[in-house]
Chains A and B, each alone.
Chain A
Amino acid sequence: MRESRLQLALLVLAALFYPITERWVAPWQITVDWPFLLLFWIAFRRGRVAGCFYGLLLGLLRDLADFSQLGATALGFTIGGWLLGTLREKVDRESLGVRLLLLAVVYLIVQAVFLFVRAGWSPGAAVLAWLRYALPGSVLTAAGYLASLLIAAFLREGLGLLREPLDRR
C-alpha cells in the first residue's frame, strides 16, 4: 500500500511537470505521458467511474497546458479511464506484464482518439500521426510506469530503513 502511495505521489509530481518535459525535454516530441500514467493508477484501482471522471479532469488540465484543442485530450482520457476501469475486472491485476500490456493498449486507443480529433476528424492524418507518435509513446509510457514502480520500491526500502530502529537492523 505504501509503495502504491509513493508511486501515486511520484506520478502526481511527474504529471505536474509534464508540460515542461513535453516542451523542453522530449526527444523527437515523444515523451512519457505522465498524466496518462496517473490516470492509469487511479482507474486501475478505483474503477471506471473514477476513471472517466479523473480522465475528464486530467485531460482538461492537459488541454489547458497547450491551448490547442480544448476537449481533445479530455475526450481521449475519459474513454481511456472508462476502458481501464472496465478492463481491470477482466484481467489479472497482480501481473505486471498484464498491466503493462493493458496500459500500452489503452494508451494507443487514447492517442487514436486524441489524434483523430486533433487531425480535424481526418482518419488518414490521424493514422500517420498515430504511427509516428503513439506507438513509440506507448513504449516510453510503459517504461515510465516501470520506472515509477522501481523508484517507489527503492524509496520504500529507503524509508523503511530510516524508520527501522537501529537494534533491529
Chain B
Amino acid sequence: MMLTGWLRRHRDRAVFIVCLAVSLFLLTIPETLRFTLARALAAAALAPSDGAVWLGRHLERLRGENEELRERIMSLHDDLGRAEEYRKEAARLRRLLDFRAAESYRFLPAELLSYPLSFRERNLVRVDRGRRDGVRPGMPVVSPRGLIGAVHTVHPYHAEVQLLASRNFAVSCRDMRSRVLGVFKWDPRRGFHVDRVDLGEDVQVGDRFMTSGLGDRFPEGFLLGTVTELLRPPGALRLEIRLAPAVPIQTLEDVFVVTRVSEAAPGFPLPTDAPADSLEASP
C-alpha cells in the first residue's frame, strides 16, 4: 500500500529506477547469455532491414537475370532473323529450281474429253487443249504416274492423243535397274512388251522401264511399266518381256501435254514410288 502510494507520487523516479535496473541487469548477466540475447534482439530489431537488404540483393540478382535474358532474347532474335534469311534463300533457290524445271519441261494441264471406244479409233483420247494453247503433233502426254502417249491430231480447241496401247506406237526404253535398252510396244496378242532385248541381258521380273530419251521424240525418265513376265521361247534370240502399264487407261484422270523439251532436260522427275500428286504442273 505504501509502495503503491509512493509510486503514484513519484512516478518519474519509479520509471527512472526501473530503467536503471534494466540497464544494470543487462550488464550483470553472463557474457555468453548477453551475446545470445543481443543477437536475438538484434535479429528481431533488424529483421525489417534484413528483409530490405535481402530484397535489394534479390532485385540485384533479378536484374542480372533480366540482363542475361535480354541478351538471350537478342541472340535468339538474331538467330531468328538469320533463319528468316535462310528461309528466303531456300525459297529463292526453290524458285530457281522450278524455273530450271520449267525451262526443261513445260507441262500444260489438260482435261480428258473422251475415252477410247474401240480399236477403230486407234486408241485415241481427246483433250481440251489445242493449237491455240501451243499444242503440236508428236508432243508427249503424261500423267503423274508416267507416259500416256503422244499428240496425234491437233485442232484449234482440242487435240487427239494416241495412247501407248496402239499397234503402231513404239518408244525407246531403258531398264531403270540394269540400264538395258529396248523398244516398248503394244499389240493385241502380247499386250505391252519390250522388244529387241537379247537373251543374255540382265532383266528381271519387277524391273521398271522408262523412256530412254533416245530418238528425241520422248524425253528421258517417263515411267512406262513394270515387268510382269519374262519369257525365253525356244529357238528365239531375244527375250520376251511383258509389262503392266504404269498408267492404266481406266484410271486416267489428269494429263499434261509436254509442250517444250530442252536439251538440258535432266529427265522426268518422277521418283520410283512417288505419290500421284508429286508432279507439279507448270503453266
Contact = CB atoms under 8 A, between A and B. Distances in A.
Contacts of B46: 64
A82 B27 contact: no
B19 A53 contact: yes
Interface string B1-15: 000000000011001
A52 B15 contact: yes
B24 interface: yes
Interface of A: 47-49, 52-53, 55-56, 59-61, 63-65, 67, 69-72, 74-75, 78-79, 82, 85, 117
Chain B binding surface SS class: helix
Chain A binding surface SS class: helix
B16 A74 contact: no
Contacts, number: 65
Contacts of A47: 12
Interface residues of B, number: 21
Contact of A74 (B15, B23, B37, B39): B23
A88 B277 CA distance: 106
Contacts of A72: 27
Interface of B: 11-12, 15-16, 19-20, 22-27, 34-35, 37-39, 41-42, 45-46
B12 to A, nearest CB: 5
B42 A52 contact: no
Contacts of B11: 49
A78 B19 contact: yes
Given A61-B45, A79-B20, A70 B15 contact: no
